[in-house]
Structure 1
Amino acid sequence: MPPFLAYDDNNPHTSRTPLLLIHGHPFDRTMWHPQRTAFAPSRRVIAPDLRGYGASPVTPGRTPLTRFAADLEDLLDALDVRTCVVAGLSMGGQIAMACYDRLGADRIRGLVLADTSPAPETPEGRSARNAMADRLLREGMRGYADEVLEKMVAPRAGREVKAHVHRMMTATDPAGAAAALRGRAERPDYRPLLTKVTVPALVVVGADDEYTPVHDAESMCALLPDATLRIVDGAAHLPNLERPEEFDRALGEFLTRVDERP
């Protein structure tokens, strides 16, 4: 049975630990182009479009984080990936936590959490996410994309980076984005889970991130038994695109450490 999700699978025959990259909202797998370019020559790199995003099917309604995690488990099974490092940014980081909750250390050898938060949604946040879902279904993505672009990336980000981020947002199907927003509005508290993670973790955050500020990353890092924190100067919510060299340096060091573990 073919995978449900659209995906890129680069260099599938190397012996190093595979890397699964989970994009954020409202983006797609092209978000990870710098990391695929950097790491695919030497290891297997899998980058899917999540349900409702990019070239993957849209299922209107509500898509909880657990549904995204189940989709990714099915993809790993279809590709015969027994273990991997899971890296997620923003919503993708929350899905990475859901993946660890579902699959555990038997399949996930390392966890990369970038510009994300393990805390449950607040009542105000639930109302705001559901209201935004209604707005996107009513108006489409462009107005939202125009409003948040310079919060997603720092105002001084390069023109090509801004264009790429804006293009991903406006190309997203409003029904898929709305379903994810409604699902995230009901997200659980992953903080207790993080205290029980038994694999190495890397926490990355842009120094100027307004959505998930540095102090949130510091608090998340403190919960993890074996975690490293990397703060990327000059970046906001998407340091992997804004400062790919710094992001890739931190990720590369982490992957080497995971590869060397027994």
Structure 2
Amino acid sequence: MVALNDIQTHYCTNGCGPAVVFVHGLAEDHRSWRRQQDEFTDHHTYAYDLRGHGASTLGGADGTLAQLRDDLIAFLTEVSGPAVCVGFSLGGTVVLSAAAQRPDLVTGIAVLGTSSVVGRAAAEFHQRRAEQVGDAAAVLDGLREDTAAMLASSTVDVDDLVARRAESIGDGRGYANAATAMAGLHGNPLTPELAAIKCPVTVIGGENDVLCPRKAADILLEALPRATYREIPGAGHLMNGDNPDATTAALRDALSQR
């Protein structure tokens, strides 16, 4: 645990070498990167819990991407030092925002299933999920519905994933905060800020991702000065669940090019 900004941030670390910071997605925690932390022992990896997720406290959450960005900047400043940053979905958006704000702290980027802008329907979806918090049954039903939609493989244990995701959000206030931040990308997209990112970026998409389709990756590829695309075959949005071998290989390749 480390005190950063107005919260206590929990993180796990492993390995030795160049620094890599992993940032998880909505309704997840540091455990979503366990496979990569176990394998990338030639790097000094860090995986932290976003505010209100996992064992990190919520603090004075304000429902903005800027606050989540500043939490990552604080982590890079006070814990890891300048690092390659890897983010999934919400975490990818946080990484891109931090890199645009503080390019001196982000030496390379890999983002998976990430958007810099959301449409009206997606914004309304995230806002509905935020408004369900306080009704435990509704939140659990929503997590189950969303998790099933994020997977392309019928062999993944959906119940196990739902249980882990439910555990990661606790009372749900951090989940509502992060969902509200994602909804804000409708009226305040991150896309115009991406030109400020000068480090190389690997954009990774799932072949069958219906939540963050190829169009979202194309927006990133057009806006980023130095970006390449990799696709994970047979994977939906939760590509680290659908095809962890290919996801790990793509991330390994991204790190080797830094």
Provide closer, same or farther for how the CA distance between residues 157 and 232 of structure 1 changes in structure 2, counting only shifts above 3 A.
Answer: farther
After superposition, residues 181-220 of structure 1 pair within 5 angstroms as 181-187=179-185, 188-220=188-220
Residue 125 of structure 2 is matched in structure 1 by: 128
Structure 1: state its 5+ residue gaps: none
Mapped partners of 1:163, 1:38: distance in 2:
26
Deviations 1:107-133 (A, max 9, x none): 1111111101111x4445444322321
1:133-148 alignment to 2 at 5 Å? 133-140=130-137, 141-148=139-146
Written as runs of structure 1 = structure 2, the 5 A alignment for 1:67-82 is 67-79=67-79, 81-82=80-81
How far did 1:55 drift?
0.7
| Amino acid aligned to 2:224 | L
Partner residue in 2 for 1:33: 34
Q: Deviations over 1:205-227 (max 9, x none)?
A: 11111110123213322322221
TM-score under structure 1 length normalisation: 0.87
Contact 2:151 2:237 (C-alpha < 8 Å) held by counterparts: yes
Deviation of the 1:145 alpha carbon: 1.7
Tell me the secondary structure at the aligned position of residue 28 of structure 2: coil
Structure 2 unaligned segments of length 5 or more: list them: none
1:168 and 2:172 are equivalent in the alignment: no
The one-letter amino acid paired with 2:32 is M
Residue matched to 2:83: 84
Q: Does the 8 Å contact 1:93/1:116 carry over to 2?
A: yes
Aligned match of 2:225: 225
What is the CA distance between 1:61 and its match in structure 2? Answer: 5.5
In the alignment, residue 170 of structure 1 is paired with which amino acid?
A: A
Closer/same/farther in 2, CA of residues 124 and 252 from structure 1, 3 Å limit:
closer
Taking only the aligned residue pairs, the percentage that are identical comes to: 24
CA RMSD of aligned residues (A): 2.0
